Structure 1
Amino acid sequence: MSTGLIIALIVIVAVVVVVAAVLAARARNRPGGQNLKRRFGPEYDRTVARHDGDAKAAERELAARVERHGDLRVRPLEPAERERFEARWAAVQEHFVDSPREAVTEADALVADIAGALGFPDGGQYEEQLAALSVHHGHHVHGYRRIHHAAQTAGQDGTGGGTEELRAALLEARELFDELLGAGHGDRNRQRAAIGAAPTRADAAAHADDGRTRTDH
Structure 2
Amino acid sequence: MEPLHIVLVAVITAAALFAVLAPRVRSRRLRERFGPEYDRAVLLHEGDVRAAEHDLTDRLALRRRVRTVPVEAADRDRYLAELRGLQALFVEDPRQSAVRTARLLDTVLTDMGFPGEDRPEVLSVDHAARVPGYRDARRVLADPGADSEELRRSVVADRDLIVELLHEDRSGILARH
TM-score relative to the length of structure 2? 0.77
**1:175 aligned to 2:175?**
no
User: Considering only aligned residues, what root-mean-square deviation do their CA atoms show, in Å?
Assistant: 2.3
Q: CA deviation at 1:49?
A: 2.4
Q: CA deviation at 1:93?
A: 0.9
The answer for the alignment partner of 2:79 in structure 1 is 85
Query: Which structure has the greater CA radius of gyration?
Result: 1
Aligned length: 155
Q: Is the Cα contact below 8 Å between 1:143 and 1:175 reproduced in 2?
A: no
Distance 1:142 1:178 in 2: 16
Q: Return the match for 1:136 from 105, 126, 145.
A: 126
Distance 1:34 1:148 in 2: 29
SS of the residue corresponding to residue 76 of structure 1 reads coil
What amino acid maps onto 1:175 in structure 2? D
Q: Is the Cα contact below 8 Å between 2:38 and 2:52 reproduced in 1?
A: yes
What amino acid maps onto 1:136 in structure 2? D
Distance 1:189 1:93 in 2: 9
Q: Is the Cα contact below 8 Å between 1:146 and 1:173 reproduced in 2?
A: no
Measured against aligned partners, the alpha-carbon deviations of 1:113-161 in whole angstroms (never above 9, x if no partner) come to: 1111111113xx3xx11111111211212222122222222xx3xx2x2
Give percent identity, aligned residues only: 33
Q: CA deviation at 1:189?
A: 5.2
Unaligned runs of 5+ in 1: 1-23, 195-217
Q: CA deviation at 1:188?
A: 4.9
The residue correspondences of 1:32-181 to structure 2 (distance < 5 A) are 32-122=26-116, 125=117, 128-153=118-143, 156=144, 159=145, 161-181=146-166
- Over 3 Å counting, the alpha-carbon distance change for 1:84 and 1:38 in structure 2 is same
TM-score relative to the length of structure 1? 0.64
SS of the residue corresponding to residue 70 of structure 1 reads helix
What amino acid maps onto 1:139 in structure 2? A
Runs of 4+, deviation exceeding 6 Å: none
Q: CA deviation at 1:74?
A: 2.7
Q: CA deviation at 1:167?
A: 0.9
